[in-house]
Amino acid sequence: MFQNILALLLVLDASALTNASPYFLGLGGSGAVTVTTTATVTVFQCGPSASSVVAGPSSSAPAAAASPAPLAASVSSLTSGGSPALTAAITNALNSVVSTLNSLTPVLNNIETLTTSLLASVGSLGNTVGSLNGLSSQSQGNLNGIVSQLSTLGTGLGNTNSLLNGIPGSAANIPGSTQANQIFPLVRGLLTRLKTLVPQVTSLATNLPTGTNLGSLHSAVSGVQSNLQTLVPELDTSVLTSTQSQVLGSLYTDVQKLMATCLLQLGLVCTTFLLFSRGLSSPGEQSFSQEESTLVFRREDLQKLWKWEIASGHYPSGESIPKQVGLLESPPNPALPPKSRTVSPSRYRPPTTGSLSADTDTIGHGPKRTYLSPQSVPPHVAYPPRPVPGSVADLDVIMKHCDFSQGKYVRDCLEVLRVGAGLDNGQRTRRGSFEDWKYIYMEENTTSTTRHVVNQDPLQVPIYRPVVGRSDDPDAGLVLKSGAKWEPPLKLSPTLTHRPSASLPEPCDTDNPRLYHMFWTGPFTDKPYLALLSFLFTQNTGLHAPNPPSSVCRPQFWLWINPGPAASIPNPNALHDMFAQLKSSPWAAPFLHPRFKDVIRFKLWNTTEQLDGVPEIADDWRALRDTLFNSGGHIISVPEPEKAEETEVDEDGEGVANTTVKAKATDMLHRTGSKSSSEYDRLSVILSDMARFVLCHRFGGVYLDADTILLRDWEELWGWKGAFAYRWSRLEKYNTAVLRMNRGSALGTFLFRTALKNGLDFHPMSVSRYTKDAYLEGLLLRLPDALFDAAWLNTEEYQRDRPPQPYFTEFSDFFDTPMENSASPQALGFNGFFKGSYSYHFHNFWWKPFDPTRNWPDLGPQFSAGETALRKSAAEAEGREFRVDDAETVGDDKLDLDWAAVLKRTFEAYVRGERPNMYGEWLVW
């Protein structure tokens, strides 16, 4: 952007400079830029200090040059003599400068907003420069301080030639070790000054009359001088040397010298800022560009990881492998059908040359795909069809229609997801061919005697050309984590065999178990209750038949219960106590019914046992015990338990846990669940960040956050054998509220070893850095949030011009639907709630009931005990007498039900036997 400004000033027609006076230009000790012309004995000062100015024609300057004239005259004084051609040239140049600067204003507005937000919360980021007050104070410092501090951020940053050479390029010349959070306070002052300069320059260009004698220009607009004085003179001479200034001075006239020199220095500083601005983050975000590397694996190991996952059928995608991985050959892909190549093979050179020309395609040699168009068949169109058992979702197609980075809207994505799965049953309108929206396919049986084969393009033999005079480093281009050593060579288990569902001897693939995992701490509430109900309402559990169909692989839901505070140690009787508490809980007891025993299981979480069960960290994690609760680098220290906290034995020989001695119930270390926004159980959240990776790596399957509601059958997602999470709203980072990983995978090995070297930090932002630094993002696919979190972009003020249904501007709208939209929940019901999405993430609100009016499990007579207990407690809390035979009337209910209440009552009606599930299947007891 600023290169364009400089170009406009430096390429003016030489024929317009015939009236120019020769001059010299020098820099004062403070960096002041002073321009002197001898023809009119007028001095133009771009700063307050000009004590060491060299002025004069060629070799002699007037002994008594005029004192610097203040830039205060009006435009009307600029009317005598001069060159019209020069006037027009300068005017055009200024107008171009104005246009460019004005185009930058929205960017600056956004950056300043982000900077301000970050400064407001910077105290929690760690490794920042000083306190918040210190940062605010530094932000008002002068630009000389900016340059001085910038030069300390990395070797060569303050070097003039390095900085000048870096302007046309990318941020590659900025040292990678630079910490983005040190830049924030430094750029704030520059932003303010630049924004005030834009309207002044605009006014200058607008008010220049045709034929103005620029040779006697003093100033066009009051205020320009003060702005330039605060902007330019404070630059250190390391940004622009006097020699370079004199070279500029030998070519241009006085006004050109003024604008070119001042704007050149302005451009240098602002270009530096813009390069760093990619590191600016809003609260809750972390930056890649200026954070240190997390990488601990060599290139050879990264290649092993890619080859293992591809050979095991975990990469059924046509996307290319990043060239930085440096694969010399295109790996065969058993999960991809044969097809013509879309990218020519890279003629490989070592990364030291920086000349890799193409990414690496995999070569498909898997079974042929047949794309489906599921639809309900008349007259049975009241409910959508179940997905075909063994079907697979083509996530490449979904990315094509749903990727936010490509400008795709959540609304349009959900329509593709609905139509492609036949969820628009009975409501489809004719819109032409839907071939491009087909994303569900079946793989043919690989045991068939006929195979569909497409001739492959001949592959070129990769060429290896060592760089002359340079050592051949196989890890060149990879940045090792600071202070770390390369990991020993990876030892991976044998690869798995990719098997289409049609070739399996039974419906379930033992290598890919269909397990939903969820982690819960504290008393059982309506939150896991609704998650389990949504599982029964949407998934193919086989509960609609007395005996489950033999052709269907039934998923299971494993709910992991942490019996105490996250930092406590379970007592020996924890399992017995856990089930005793579940039986006594009105919200949990219904799921202990024998009808659900094959699809819902409660599991006891034991941190020590689980971490010991991960071979990649089993021998090392105890060394990090004091920093085990690490979230994005923010560590919560947990003291050693006192002896008084040992397990005691009561009279009956039962173990009694005493893990909260001398602690308040509200202490962070002793919270069991989040009771309010002010009593947030941060430790359990951090523990769950790690638990999801442990569970998926040990057992396989999908992890779901407890604030998740399932909205449709996941059959085709189970068929896709790769790993995935989803996108963090507008950011190209992961949210692991939904996480799919394969049991014992190479990717899991990488993540655990990398996390171990980075403090066992499993915050999704940190995991995003791990895969990015190692070029493994393709192995943990970042799916669009429309699939699992369709309201997120709207809550952050994106895509509000075409929102999905329903339209939430805040996550709280789910619990308290705005009055103007409150007719939708009851009128549309479950079918009107983000139809097409696989699940919905309501983002915490653990303390807010789904259905305040009926805040109890309403599951019918066989589960009435829990309902009665909670209704009685509610009546007593209100100071009224409760009687079981009290009749309820519709007048007692809330007039307009919120979305949360409608979904809860819909799921409960299915269990009561008053309606079928979303696919028209009735629960059989």
In tens, the pLDDT along 695-729 reads: 999 999 999 999 999 999 999 999 999 999 999 99
Q: Is residue 913 part of a domain?
A: no
Confidence category of residue 886, pLDDT binned at 50, 70, 90: confident
Q: Is residue 479 part of a domain?
A: no
- Token couple for 381: 């169109």
**Beta strands in 424-504, from DSSP E residues, in sequence order:** 440-443
- Nearest of 412, 417, 316, 429 to residue 374 by alpha carbon: 417
Q: How many CA atoms lie within 13 A of 8 on its CB side?
A: 22
In tens, the pLDDT along 555-579 reads: 999 999 998 765 566 678 899 999 9
Give the pLDDT of residue 815. Answer: 98
Give the pLDDT of residue 241. Answer: 37
Confidence category of residue 758, pLDDT binned at 50, 70, 90: very high
Q: Is residue 186 part of a domain?
A: yes
Q: Is residue 470 part of a domain?
A: no
590 has a pLDDT exceeding 50: yes
More confident residue, 835 or 278: 835
DSSP, collapsed to helix, strand or coil, labels residue 205 as helix
More confident residue, 229 or 527: 527
Q: Is residue 882 part of a domain?
A: no
Contacts of 711 (CB under 8 A, 6+ apart): 534, 538, 833, 834, 835, 837, 838, 839, 840
More confident residue, 642 or 482: 482
Per-residue pLDDT averaged across 61-88, rounded?
Answer: 42
Q: Is residue 277 part of a domain?
A: yes
User: Of 282, 308, 326, which residue is a domain's last?
Assistant: 282
State how many domains the chain has.
Answer: 2
CA torsion 763→768→770→775, rounded to 10°? 170
Confidence category of residue 551, pLDDT binned at 50, 70, 90: confident
Q: Is residue 28 part of a domain?
A: yes
Q: Is residue 496 part of a domain?
A: no
The residue segments making up the domain with residue 690 are: 514-645+659-787
* Residues 150, 189 contacting (CB under 8 angstroms): no
Q: How far is CA 660 from CA 187, 577, 666, 668, 740, in A?
A: 48, 17, 11, 12, 35
Residue with tokens 């100015």: 53
CA distance 195 to 135: 21
User: Of 235, 264, 282, which residue is a domain's last?
Assistant: 282
CATH code for the domain of 739: 3.90.550
Contacts of 544 (CB under 8 A, 6+ apart): 916, 917, 921, 922, 923, 924
204 has a pLDDT exceeding 50: no
DSSP, collapsed to helix, strand or coil, labels residue 697 as helix
- Nearest of 764, 769, 763, 760 to residue 627 by alpha carbon: 760
CA distance 9 to 11: 6
Contacts of 831 (CB under 8 A, 6+ apart): none
Give the pLDDT of residue 244. Answer: 37
CA distance 867 to 864: 5
Contacts of 866 (CB under 8 A, 6+ apart): 585, 586, 587, 589, 590, 856, 857
Pairing assessment for the beta strands 600-604 and 392-393 based on DSSP bridges: unpaired
Q: If you compute the radius of gyration of the chain from its CA atoms, what whole number of angstroms results?
A: 34
Give the pLDDT of residue 540. Answer: 98
Kindly report the three-state secondary structure assignment for every residue of 749-790. Answer: HHHHHHHHHCCCCCCHHHHHHHHHHCCCHHHEEEECHHHCCC
Confidence category of residue 290, pLDDT binned at 50, 70, 90: low
CA distance 646 to 572: 11
Pairing assessment for the beta strands 33-37 and 634-635 based on DSSP bridges: unpaired
User: Of 762, 787, 812, which residue is a domain's last?
Assistant: 787
In tens, the pLDDT along 349-379 reads: 444 433 334 578 999 999 999 999 998 888 8
In tens, the pLDDT along 596-640 reads: 999 999 999 999 999 999 999 999 999 998 888 888 777 876 666
Would the CA dihedral through 82, 86, 92, 94 be positive or negative?
negative
Give the pLDDT of residue 545. Answer: 94
CA distance 901 to 826: 10
pTM of the model: 0.68
DSSP, collapsed to helix, strand or coil, labels residue 164 as helix
